[in-house]
Amino acid sequence: MSVNRLFRVGSVAVASLGVLALSACGSDPEPAGSSSPDSSTSSAGAECPKGTLNAEGSSAQKNAIEEVISKYNEKCADVTVNYNPTGSGAGIKQFNASQVDFAGSDSALKPDEMTAATKRCAGNAAVDLPMVIGPVAIAYNVDGVTKLVLDGPTAAKIFQGTIKTWNDPAIAKLNAGVTLPSAPISVFFRSDESGTTENFTKYLKAAGGGAWTGEPAKKWTGTGAGKEKSAGVAEGVKSSKNSITYVEWSYAVDNKLGVAQIETGSGTPIELSADSAGKALAAAKPAGTGSDLALKLDYATKAPGAYPIILVTYEIACTKGLPAEKTALVKSFLSYFVSKDGQASLTDLNYAPLPAEIQTKVEAAIQAIS
């Protein structure tokens, strides 16, 4: 009897959960902004495959790829694209372990990673496709300071910890007419290993005139207090007076933080904008071999109007070797990502679109995937 009762109790529990599970059959929301899905489907040039595409990697491109996926689904409703912003390293690791179909990364594949990626692609090379330009802002929170100008050496000294107060002569010299407090500068850095840190320290090294003593790396070697992820450093600066950090532009804007202008030596301090970030990328040189499109950025660029601290996020995909249906999905999605439509949606999100020249190269590289 009691055993029966226990069984009954168990089955009731299971049944109730089952009912709970099945009572409401879920659905996907209507695509936003697609008033006439038929017309948009018919206007689509590329054919739409069916299936699921899984990707993982850089959190710096999360907002961009999310937006593009959303737009892409208005066109190709039968494709499901999942992107997990766990970090560049995780993305490459999962890609090499065949857990995802492509990876997002803030830096191009390193030689040993390329070896592993080639193995994963059944002996074919993997390709780095630059897809999104994410400018990195030097964000600050100082009462009464609405405009702050920094140059490479000063920024390097602040983040190295050799400049300790806001009214340091070096800062004051660049900001004539601005009342700077005598308070100590609190620096926040990314406590997780991140591509943003790597790109920012590359800038400090290249433009700092020797003031930055560490080597550029994903792990922070300067001064300050560490916070987790971009959200953490942005929140840190927001909630502490007289603080400064480096963070993706969108976080600085969303959290309403001040963004420093950069004096590159071109004559006028450069304000961060989609346009000025795009100009810096145009100055970049290709670093990859063959169809690989890895870029070498010039962080010390003095090109007029170019904002030097940018981060290029790549999609890493197999050139060959994926199952046919996955290949079709990867090609279809990435083609849309790099297309004018795909790139156009990024400016609103505080990313910079790819310059036309690079865009053409990437399009060609995606078409070559088979």
Partner 1 sequence: MTAIAENTPAYDGKVLDLTGKSGARAFKNTLATVLIVLAFAVAMIPLLWILWTVVSKGYHLLLSADWWSQSQRGITVRRAGGGAYHAIMGTLIMALITALVAVPIAILGAVYLVEYGKGTRAAKVVSFMIDILTGVPSIVAALFVYAVWITVFGFNRVGFAVSLSLVLLMLPVVLRSTEEMLKLVPDELREASYALGVPKWKTILKVVVPTAFGGIITGVMLGLARVMGETAPLLILVGYSKNINLNPFNGFMGALPTMINQDRTELALPNAADRVWAAALTLILLVLALNLLARLIARFSTIKSK
Partner 2 sequence: MSSPDGTAPPDRPDGTAAEEPKIEDLVHEDAGTTPQFGGLASEHADHEAAQPAAEVMTESGVEAAGTTATTETDGKLDLGPVGHLGDRLFGGLARGSGGLVVLIVAFVGIFLLALAIPALVDDKSNFLFSRIWEPGGDQPRFGIAALFYTTVISSIIAMLIAVPIAIGVALFVTYYAPKRLAAPVAHAVDLLAAVPSIIYGLWGILFFAPILRPVINGLSTALGWIPLFEKPPGDNVGVVFTASVVLAIMILPVVTAISREIFAQTPTTHREGALALGATRWEMIRLSVLPYGRSGVVSASMLGLGRALGETVAVLIILSVPNGNDPWNSSIFAGGETFASKIANNAAEFDSPEKTGAYIAAGLVLFVVTFLVNSAARIIVDRSTPGTKRPRRNRRTRAAEGASA
Which residue in 187, 173, 159 sits closest to 309, CA to CA? 159
Instruction: From the list partner 2, partner 1, none, pick the one residue 239 interacts with, judged by a Cβ distance below 5 to 8 Å according to partner type.
Output: partner 2
The answer to the question of whether 28 is labelled as a binding residue is no
* Minimum distance of partner 1 from residue 351's CB (angstroms): 13
Instruction: From the list partner 1, partner 2, none, pick the one residue 240 interacts with, judged by a Cβ distance below 5 to 8 Å according to partner type.
Output: partner 2
* Minimum distance of partner 2 from residue 326's CB (angstroms): 24
DSSP 283-347: T-EE-S-TT---EE--TT---TT----EEEEEEEEESS-S-HHHHHHHHHHHHHHHSHHHHHTTG
The answer to the question of whether 60 is labelled as a binding residue is yes
* 18 CB burial (10 A radius; 0-12, 13-18, 19+): exposed
* Minimum distance of partner 1 from residue 285's CB (angstroms): 33
* Cβ nearer to partner 2, comparing 246 with 307: 246
DSSP code of residue 349: G
* Cβ nearer to partner 1, comparing 67 with 271: 67
Give the pairing of strands 126-141 and 258-259: antiparallel
* Minimum distance of partner 1 from residue 324's CB (angstroms): 19
The two structure tokens encoding residue 215:
């080597």
The answer to the question of whether 196 is labelled as a binding residue is yes
Contacting residues toward partner 2, per CB under 8 A: 1, 86-87, 89-90, 92-93, 161, 184, 186, 189, 191-193, 218, 220-228, 232, 235-236, 239-240, 243
* Minimum distance of partner 1 from residue 189's CB (angstroms): 16
* Cβ nearer to partner 2, comparing 70 with 221: 221
Give the pairing of strands 149-151 and 261-263: parallel
Contacting residues for 104 by C-beta, under 8 A, at least 6 apart: 55, 56, 57, 58, 61, 65, 83, 85, 88, 91, 131, 313, 314, 315, 316
Contacting residues toward partner 1, per CB under 8 A: 1-3, 5-6, 9, 12-14, 16-17, 20-21, 24-29, 31-32, 52, 54, 56, 59, 63, 66-67, 69-70, 73-74, 80, 82, 84-86, 94, 97, 99-100, 229-231, 234-235, 238, 251, 254-256, 349
* Cβ nearer to partner 1, comparing 39 with 82: 82
* Minimum distance of partner 1 from residue 83's CB (angstroms): 9
Instruction: From the list partner 2, partner 1, none, pick the one residue 251 interacts with, judged by a Cβ distance below 5 to 8 Å according to partner type.
Output: partner 1
Evaluated on CA atoms 122, 126, 132, 134, the torsion sign reads positive
- Three-class DSSP category at 19: helix
Instruction: Please tell me the total number of residues recorded for the chain in this structure.
Output: 370
Q: Which amino acid is at 236?
A: G
Residues marked as binding for phosphate? Answer: 58-60, 88, 106, 194-196
Residues marked as binding? Answer: 58-60, 88, 106, 194-196
